[in-house]
Amino acid sequence: MKFGVFYEHQIPRPWHENSEYDHFQNALNQVELADKLGYDFAWQVEHHFLEEYSHASSPASFLAAASQRTKQIRLGHGILQLTHNHPIKAAEMAANLDILSGGRCELGTGEGAGPTELHPFGAKVRDKRAVFEEGFRAMVPCFTKNDWEFHGEHWDFPRRNVLPKPVQKPHPPLWVACSNLNTIEYAAKRGIGALGFQFADPEGARAWVNRYYNIISGDGVEKLCEHETNPNLAVVSGFMCAETDEEARKKAEGWTFFIFCLERNSNPNNAYEPNSANLWEEYQDWRTGDKAKAAFESGLIGSPETIRKKLRAFADANVDQIILLNQAGKTTHEDICSSLELFAKEVMPEFHALEDDHQEWKRKVMAGEIQLEDLSTDKHHKLEVMQAVDKEAVESRRLSEEEIKKKAQEAKEEEITSISPI
């Protein structure tokens, strides 16, 4: 099993003049530490306009900076939004990162979130899957062809030689964001690595790993274009490793803030004007509820032994990579570093030692030498809050920005009229 670190670049209010500067410097120091400790991947998302939740608007810049402070750790776009990034620019950014890092780029792509992010770029939520797929088809040949043109419904460009070309041939490994369970099947069908959230239990992990590998190793793969297959299933998990479970929970409230923000930003009723909301303040009531408690239980939060027990189950299910979300909420730089150090010393070596056997298992699965049981995934879901996010995200695809504002106002009025006089 391999391990990554994950950056949403959360900066809750209140802010001071150097909040973002201090945060990014700390994050670079953390990635440098992770590299020295032997972590395998560092991932950064791309988001725009999502105050407090994510200040990660330029992953190419951050990952390029990290490339000059690290030697071994692989640097991943997790993900680059192909709904508004021009396919040529996406290919150029990935190739530049691959060169600067000496061939350590991982290219995750996806559709982006809702209207708050997409509308300012002229992208429409209802079209994002079509735009993403066309952008993917337009981007990938840029890595290998010296004379490439594309003429589609959403993207159109004349013949050019897109430069530079990546170090990795034919291109960096390709991934796609899996914001819900169905997209794990989508990733497998397209021959792409799956970047998702942790499953609720090991049984669910095994069912979905089997489903993913049964599809990607079979005859039903329908790639969007010619590219190298990347059979990998990675999942993001809340993370805090400390000497005791109690200490870890005290230091890990950032994970529950992450879940709160994810739920809030995915709800079409929660449209808000720029610089008008205070998510950290809103979170104070949410953090004591059942969803927050469930989030604590789901994550890799606890002593080395507690985390080790959870990881063994996911290793047995053949999950390829666990991406550790340590930087969230107001988790301090010191606590993030101590957590990374303790985990690397007490837990990670045991699971790194399994990697050779796991790669041999994967080789046999992809070659058809091992047949995986087709387990039902019907009863296996992610966190309850993640299911709610998925449902609301689907609903938001049907709404324009004005409709979202109208719906938010109607919900507010309904709340007011439903209060009974005392």
Architecture of domain 2-417: Alpha-Beta Barrel (3.20)
Over residues 165-188, the pLDDT tens digits come to 999 999 999 999 997 878 999 999
Whether pLDDT at 392 is above 50: no
Over residues 218-249, the pLDDT tens digits come to 999 999 999 999 999 999 999 999 999 999 99
Whether pLDDT at 396 is above 70: no
Every domain of the chain and the residues it spans: 2-417
Measure the CA–CA gap between 54 and 43, rounded to whole angstroms: 14
Whether pLDDT at 149 is above 50: yes
pLDDT of residue 272: 64
Measure the CA–CA gap between 45 and 321, rounded to whole angstroms: 17
Q: Amino acid identity of 372?
A: L
Is 60:93 a contact under the CB 8 Å cutoff?
Answer: yes
pLDDT of residue 413: 41
| Residues above pLDDT 90, as percent of the chain | 80
pTM for the full predicted model: 0.90
Average pLDDT (63-75) is 98
Whether pLDDT at 404 is above 90: no
Over residues 313-372, the pLDDT tens digits come to 999 999 999 999 999 999 999 999 999 999 999 999 999 999 999 999 999 999 999 999
More confident of the two residues 414 and 377: 377
